[in-house]
Amino acid sequence: MARPTPLSGFPEWLPAGRIVEQHVLDTLRRTFELNGFAGIETRAVEPLSELLRKGETSKEVYVLRRLQAEADEAAVVDDSSLGLHFDLTVPFARYVLENAGQLSFPFRRYQIQKVWRGERPQEGRFREFYQADIDAVGAGELPFHVEVELPLVMAEALAALPIPPVRILVNNRKVAEGFYRGIGLDDVDAVLRSIDKLDRVGPEVAADFLQQEAGASAEQARACLALAGISGSDARIAEAVTRLAREFGATSELLETGLAELVALVEAAAAVAPGVLVADLRIARGLDYYTGSVYETVLVGHESLGSICSGGRYDELATDGANTYPGVGLSIGVSRLVSRLLGENLVRASRSVPSAVLVAVTSEDTRAASTRVAGSLRARGIPVEVAPNAAKFGKQIRHADRRGIPFVWFPGAEGAPDEVKDIRSGDQVPADAAAWEPPSADLWPAVTAGEA
Amino acid sequence: MARPTPLSGFPEWLPAGRIVEQHVLDTLRRTFELNGFAGIETRAVEPLSELLRKGETSKEVYVLRRLQAEADEAAVVDDSSLGLHFDLTVPFARYVLENAGQLSFPFRRYQIQKVWRGERPQEGRFREFYQADIDAVGAGELPFHVEVELPLVMAEALAALPIPPVRILVNNRKVAEGFYRGIGLDDVDAVLRSIDKLDRVGPEVAADFLQQEAGASAEQARACLALAGISGSDARIAEAVTRLAREFGATSELLETGLAELVALVEAAAAVAPGVLVADLRIARGLDYYTGSVYETVLVGHESLGSICSGGRYDELATDGANTYPGVGLSIGVSRLVSRLLGENLVRASRSVPSAVLVAVTSEDTRAASTRVAGSLRARGIPVEVAPNAAKFGKQIRHADRRGIPFVWFPGAEGAPDEVKDIRSGDQVPADAAAWEPPSADLWPAVTAGEA
């Protein structure tokens, strides 16, 4: 086998990078659990029919076939074929329907798993990546306050990470739909798709899109762009939208409801986490299943990364005809975030192995004594490894140094006490394996903001 | 969408089951990290050429195709096609070769990920399941003591789980190969494959296999079966094997080396964890890449489950021609273990959500007060959720009870103190959200042996 090369779009980390990723995943999980979300995992595959039912990424599905399938069988891709999930929302909706009889509603779950998208490789596009989702779904109904709570849980989770501050941008589908219909534009999805492109293409091209794709007049396009220009974090956004609606002769009960929700959301959020949530009427979210609040999140100073945490309220995603489970959910694109953190050296791990201590081996004859020291330290929760061979101590210390292990332990010969050396300072002191503890900051690898 | 049904071979757990699985995964991870193993993850896919290079499960690979691939492209499965990994050993060998320049050797890693096998569904066979692996690889060489250390790390990890005790059965390829060649059987792989079937088919059929597949005489087959009947946990196994070898006129340096290693392994293990490791010369392990110690593990009282943790020493698995990285590794089949634990009620979670406390809501007007209580408890590391609506308190208590949440918190009205109720005992006492703590046993869901 020749030396293998990486596969584009399938990120892998060296051990120190994985410590950073694991720290991010652990921190998210802890915040989700502190907020009472139950963890679930779903299988990696769904029937193709499910994957193609909703969402705009349907083209990017990886379809599976068994290598040993008959030729006939292998050539056919039909509804019963299995594909890898491209997000965690579609599988979650299926899980809720499948297990509705055994779940208690409202059901709040988090889910941290990899997803796959069969895109052609291109810069910054991953074909395999971690998502970390939270959703709350009700049976038949779900109160509005969940639309306030969930983005704040995400804000809390993101604030616990060693990353720059985030800003969560929120809009409300009822505002958008009420306004668009109010000014006479009924193909709401087409308008949303055009507005969703605004950041990338600029207002002039977006106006063209609105006229060509959504059937807008120049005047209507101008109204849509004016709406998209409104942002703020208090009741003045409602006044601005209402003024604009009047200017274009739009009145709509849906618009009123949406504005009330949007203001309630930003005001409640401002009381808990000032400055984190901002209403921004440019936020469209391409997916057609959102029906209330929608969210996107930017990393301040890294806006080019795009939204790192998105979601919204959906009312019809999980329904089996007889029962419907409305929900609110947000999803963090973890791999893209971690890739940026590592790529720009924004975050680093203090070492590449868990071990706080390397126990030196004086000679292979006394390896058992070193193993006993390791067992004694480990029994008290100290991560430790034993030197792989009885090389000269200088070489054993270099072994620790290369991995960032801060302490080397020397078992005492013939009744002499053991000693432990902090290889950063060179300090070496007598120590008892049944009692010694490293400083708590050294116990596990630390993940800290880097120097970028 | 009609109510979906489960897919055979793709296990999913309800939230309480997932708490058990997560507990198992967390416990394994902690033991691996305490022993200084660095965590890595590899991508889910490998080039088909890699997957088919080694191992006996090559027929079971799931091949990927992009849904939007051209028809021509989709029909072709060649070496550049991607398949889902069927274990973590092949990807790990590739990772080591790919990153050798940036790793420090010996490199010790753990890896806990799902793997996939495109088998036809049948009872007890999973098509998607978790494996938890540890491996240590050296650059060019790896000392024997690693073959002693790694099964003991697994024994420690398994002992930390709420499961029945395990027994690790060990053999040594050098013993098997030295003995077989010594009695004149040179197709060692064929002999091993026949012996590997012994437990399933019995000695008579195994003797037939040995004669038909491995070219053994009746006498040679008898010798192989006699060897397979030897087991023990001290130097007497070496005596028994040596006696048997003499009886059949076999002498072999390789056999001597293997016996010395096997005895050293069981004796060193007996000193650390008495009774856990047993030499059993029946253990063959089908895979052709093992070259030294081989391991299988049974759950005492659940032998029908088969081996829950297997592995061995390999010398040639990771090589790029110029450099070779010999290793020792073991792999736990986590999903099959968890499935048995849940299916037979051997283990249970004390509740289905992380929350230790449900904060009641007196009226929707005072939800913000309940949210503040929750924030205060959470800031001190107590998992908590707020009631979804201001129903009658009895209903809110039932909401907690259904999920197994032990405490319900009642915010005090107009200056009255808050109170907290243990809904198991009914005891209700005044409490301060800035100071109250639940008993530590109630803080997180407990996973304990069940009543089966």
**Chain A interface includes B121 (CB < 8 A):** no
What is the structure's pLDDT at A321? 84
**Chain A interface includes B426 (CB < 8 A):** no
Cis preceding linkage at B445, omega within 30 = no
| CA B322 to each of CA A6, B97, B140, B143: distance values in angstroms, whole numbers, following the listed order | 20, 11, 10, 20
Residue A312 Cα, gap to closest chain B Cα (Å): 18
- Judged by CB atoms closer than 8 Å, whether chains meet at B67 and A118 is answered as yes
Q: Are strands B418-422 and B407-410 parallel, antiparallel or unpaired?
A: antiparallel
- Judged by CB atoms closer than 8 Å, whether chains meet at B386 and A15 is answered as no
Reduced to 3 states, what is the DSSP secondary structure of residue B215? coil
B366 vs B416: CA distance, rounded Å: 14
- Judged by CB atoms closer than 8 Å, whether chains meet at B18 and A39 is answered as yes
DSSP result, B15-73: HHHHHHHHHHHHHHHHHHHHTTPEE----SEEEHHHHTTSSS-GGGPEEEEETTS-HHH
What is the structure's pLDDT at B251? 85
- Judged by CB atoms closer than 8 Å, whether chains meet at B385 and A36 is answered as yes
Q: Which residues of chain A have pLDDT under 50?
A: 56-57, 452
Q: Which residues contact B72 (CB under 8 A, 6 or more apart)?
A: none
Candidates A14, A41, A48; nearest CB to B102: A14
**Chain B interface includes A140 (CB < 8 A):** no
Structure tokens at A8: 């584009």
| CA B42 to each of CA A237, B79, B219, B403: distance values in angstroms, whole numbers, following the listed order | 47, 19, 47, 36
- Residue A20 near residue A346, CB atoms below 8 Å: no
Residue A385 Cα, gap to closest chain B Cα (Å): 5
Q: Can you give the pTM of this predicted structure?
A: 0.95
- Residue A252 near residue A178, CB atoms below 8 Å: yes
Structure tokens at A17: 């990078």
The phi and psi torsions of A298 (rounded to 5 degrees) equal -115, 150
Instruction: Give the tens place of pLDDT for each residue, A331-375.
Output: 999 999 999 999 999 999 999 999 999 999 999 999 999 999 999
Which has the closest alpha carbon to A34: B219, B380, B210, B244? Answer: B380
Reduced to 3 states, what is the DSSP secondary structure of residue A422? strand
Q: Going residue by residue through chain B (452 aa), what tens digit of pLDDT does each one get? A: 677 889 999 999 999 999 999 999 999 999 999 999 999 999 999 999 888 876 544 568 999 988 877 666 666 677 678 999 999 999 999 999 999 999 999 999 999 999 999 877 666 689 999 999 999 999 999 999 999 999 999 999 999 999 999 999 999 999 999 999 999 999 998 999 999 899 889 999 999 999 999 999 999 999 999 999 999 999 999 999 999 999 998 889 999 999 999 999 999 999 888 999 999 999 988 667 899 999 999 999 999 889 999 999 999 888 888 899 999 999 999 999 999 999 999 999 999 999 999 999 999 999 999 999 999 999 999 999 999 999 999 999 999 999 999 999 999 988 899 999 999 999 999 999 999 999 999 999 999 987 64
- Judged by CB atoms closer than 8 Å, whether chains meet at A38 and B15 is answered as yes
CA torsion sign for B13, B19, B20, B21 is positive
- Judged by CB atoms closer than 8 Å, whether chains meet at A62 and B60 is answered as no
Residue A34 Cα, gap to closest chain B Cα (Å): 4
- Residue A131 near residue A87, CB atoms below 8 Å: yes
